[in-house]
Structure 1
């Protein structure tokens, strides 16, 4: 809430954010930063989530509620981000217009990769999926800032907003798996 409030009223944290963003724009190799930023595109992140949902359903059809929860959380991203963008109406770093807070690409990356990791982890021998999801999400945010698509607080705001959602998905998935493992099969 503090991040959103600071951005909305252009408080001291927002002023520091603009200074940091201007210092970071264009830093690093542009091609790598663009690749990182693209990780948050729906065309990249949604197929990863779809593959995880498909994998879980192939492994155990009784997990359809877990899969449905993952899809619902992904559908909630634009439902939460778009109204906030309209309400806050933050100017873009390098482009005309408003509506850049919070970062939809960061939210998409966090939810798609994080939820995919939560779905497949119970079926893996080693627990590598969540660290990979974290790296992909952080890389997305870094790329967005370095390319000048978002201010740093746009990214942080998305991480805070959807960081609160993912634990709910994890708890729900564990509960649903436990309840379906206790039910009888045919």
Structure 2
């Protein structure tokens, strides 16, 4: 399932990048949608707040707080690899500028009217929000001991949060819609890889340390 999701996301990212870089029909349609989105009735202050949720100063501290909590909980319960899930999430976050900056320079897409310069594809704010909130959610899911409904609602909340960031960026005219969608595809693929790493190398909350005589069981 993860392999299919990863392949689909990367394929879609490649298609969108080809259309944006080659000024294909999707790019022209995208620009019409982007201009129309700026005419919606959502107040500018609300759209600005949504867009700001994708800033480094807001999203990264959220991930740092969750990673710190997870590391503390895992170490307290004696998980032998307590450091690995927070480290993996941190590396995923560090990968954002390493991927976004070269792509922006390579594609060199002009911004919406009123935004000077080039290099708007893919959206850095969208990527930051996707990885920070997505990785935080993946780290927290094993610690949500309630029903599957609770975990599902947390995932839905993460998706809605990222959707508001993307809409805020387009509504305020900071990005075209495909800038946002391209980031979702690329960094959604990164989160799929992170999820696989956490399942493969993470430890279940509450697993015993080796010194207690009961080795920790890896996640299935």
Aligned residue for 2:210? 184
Aligned residue for 1:36? 50
Shift of 1:50: 0.5
Tell me if 1:56 matches 2:70: yes
Provide the rounded CA distance (Å) in 1 between the counterparts of 2:73 and 2:183: 32
Where does 1:130-145 land on structure 2 (aligned, <5 Å)?
130-145=155-170
161-170 vs 139-148, which moves further: 161-170
Shift of 1:136: 1.1
Aligned residue for 1:160? 185
Q: Could you list the per-position Cα deviations for residues 61-95 of structure 1 after superposition, in whole angstroms to 9, with x for gaps in the alignment? A: 23211110000000000000000000000001031
Provide the rounded CA distance (Å) in 1 between the counterparts of 2:156 and 2:129: 13
Tell me if 1:14 matches 2:27: yes
Aligned residue for 2:61? 47
Provide the rounded CA distance (Å) in 2 between the counterparts of 1:172 and 1:106: 23
Q: Say how many residue pairs are matched.
A: 186
Aligned residue for 2:5? none
Structure possessing the higher radius of gyration over alpha carbons:
2
Provide the rounded CA distance (Å) in 1 between the counterparts of 2:160 and 2:134: 10
Tell me if 1:107 matches 2:127: yes
Shift of 1:177: 2.2
Aligned residue for 2:7? none
Shift of 1:26: 4.1
Provide the rounded CA distance (Å) in 1 between the counterparts of 2:29 and 2:58: 32
Shift of 1:179: 8.5
165-174 vs 144-153, which moves further: 165-174
Q: Contact (CA 8 Å) 2:142, 2:204: kept in 1 or not?
A: no
Aligned residue for 1:148? 173
For structure 1, list consecutive stretches of 5 or more residues without a partner in the other structure.
none
Aligned residue for 2:107? 88
For structure 2, list consecutive stretches of 5 or more residues without a partner in the other structure.
1-13, 76-80, 213-220
Q: Contact (CA 8 Å) 1:63, 1:176: kept in 2 or not?
A: no
Q: Contact (CA 8 Å) 1:84, 1:102: kept in 2 or not?
A: yes
Shift of 1:129: 2.6
TM-score scaled to structure 1, two decimals?
0.95
Higher helix share: 1
Provide the rounded CA distance (Å) in 2 between the counterparts of 1:81 and 1:185: 44
Runs of 4+ with deviation above 6 angstroms: none
